[in-house]
Every structure is written in C-alpha cells, then in structure tokens.
Amino acid sequence: MASATITEEFPKTSMNRRAGDVWAAAAKGPVSLSDHGTSRFVVMTREQFDALVGRSDPRIARATADIPLDEAEELMRVLKGVLDADDEA
C-alpha cells in the first residue's frame, strides 16, 4: 500500500476543473482537498482506505478437502455446538 501520508493537495474547485489530475494523484497516494487553505477531505483508492482502517476481506473460499486440519477441527467444534444447542431447544 502507498503511504497514508498526503501526497498532494488540491483546492476543492479542482474536482470540477482538474478532476483527472486529482484522480491521477489519488491513484499514487492520498490527496487532500482544501477549502480556503484548510484540508477538508481526503481522496484515496479503496485499497489504501482498506489498508488504513484494517478492512480486508477475511473470507477464504476453498474446497472442503483443502481445509487445514486445525480449521476443520474448529469448524466441527462450532457446528457440534450449534447442533447440540438446537437439540436442547
């Protein structure tokens, strides 16, 4: 991921007049949009945002036969708990 440090700053009017420049800069790193010299918004790629806030998709898709043994054992433990809870209800 690119650094979370602001790489460029543009006045907010650039979104109308120089949108292509803003998008190109944001592809390289976070860009600040300022209003009267005060930074108000940051534009960045989704990948940069996800890395910054720790949001990555934790889901993994794989065939049942490819599940590591420790994960398979945990899955079976949880499923057994759900089934046992249903039997008690």
User: Which tens digits make up the pLDDT trace of 42-87?
Assistant: 999 998 888 888 776 778 888 888 999 999 999 999 999 999 987 8
Per-residue pLDDT reduced to its tens digit, 25-49: 999 999 999 999 899 999 999 988 8
User: Checking DSSP bridges between strand 38-43 and strand 31-35, what pairing results, if any?
Assistant: antiparallel
Residue 2: band (very low, low, confident or very high) from pLDDT cuts 50, 70, 90: very low
Residue 42 to residues 11, 14, 22, 77, Cα–Cα distance (Å):
11, 13, 11, 45
CA distance 54 to 4: 12
Residue 63 has which token pair? 């065939």
